Amino acid sequence: LVYLHDGSRVKVIRRDLKPSNILLEKDMNPKVCDFGLARIFERDNTKDVTRRVAETGYMAPEYAVLAHISTKSDAFSFGVIVLEIVAGRKNTTSSQGMMAEHLLSHVSRLAQVWESWTRGAVTDIVDPYMNNSCAENGVLKCIHIGLLCVQENPSDRPSMSDVILMLVGRSTTLPAPSRPAFLFSLDNENHVLPGCANELPECSTKCNSSFNKVTITELEPR
């Protein structure tokens, strides 16, 4: 991602970063793949006029609602993936459907992480299978960085270059994260991206919570 954003001849925004678009080599080195939705942008262009088809569990809110996109949109997706790895659970179980329902369905995971963070019990969200096989300080750093990446205001999110420095740096001083985007707190107090409250599309209460995308190929001999 750092190369796509800053190292290549043109700036490339991945847009659809999610676990299924990340391959692992035999040495467990990750490689981003499937660039069908990637876009090349001018340096001052942050508006995407094409149809938004990225998976909403990983889609930055400013892109999902206003079609505003930047390298910080990829940082948001990265943060969601980091928190998923630590928690051992997907951010959303929805696949296809009305956008508003997706935006409301995937916030519960971020709400759980944020609630645990604010009460000083962030280790509660760690995957139980990792408890005896990971360094607590490393896990806490990953959660901290993940929360920084999913902050509501894109300008508050770190660049991917900054994320690299945070991950490999020995310094334990990181900025305090602010409230995640699209956080609906456990007391049902709604918090939506500023200026977007009236722009969320309506959604029927009968929207399907999942969509079966499995296909079957029938083989017939010649």
Matching residue, tokens 């490339």: 12
56-80: per-residue pLDDT in tens?
678 888 887 887 888 899 999 999 9
Q: Is 3 exposed, middle or buried, given 0-12, 13-18 or 19+ CB atoms closer than 10 A?
A: exposed
**Taking the domains of the chain in order of start, what are their residue ranges?**
47-199
- To the nearest whole number, what is the mean pLDDT of the chain? 72
| CA–CA distance, 113 with 150 (Å, rounded to integer) | 11
Q: What is the CA radius of gyration of the chain?
A: 18
* 47-199 topology per CATH: Transferase(Phosphotransferase); domain 1 (1.10.510)
For residue 160, which of 10, 9, 12, 56 has the smallest C-alpha distance? 12
| CA–CA distance, 28 with 210 (Å, rounded to integer) | 31
- pTM score, whole prediction: 0.70
**pLDDT given at position 210:** 37
The 3-state secondary structure of 125-177 reads: HCCHHHCCCCCHHHHHHHHHHHHHHCECCHHHCCCHHHHHHHHHCCCCCCCCC
147-204: per-residue pLDDT in tens?
999 999 999 999 999 999 998 887 668 999 998 876 443 444 444 444 444 444 443 3
Assess whether 156 carries a catalytic annotation: no
| Choice among 6, 16, 48, 127 that is catalytic | 16
**Which one is predicted more confidently, 216 or 210?**
216
- What 3-state class would DSSP assign to 197? helix
**Which one is predicted more confidently, 47 or 3?**
3
- Within 17-121, residue ranges assigned H as helices are 61-66, 71-87, 99-105, 107-118
**Which one is predicted more confidently, 148 or 20?**
148
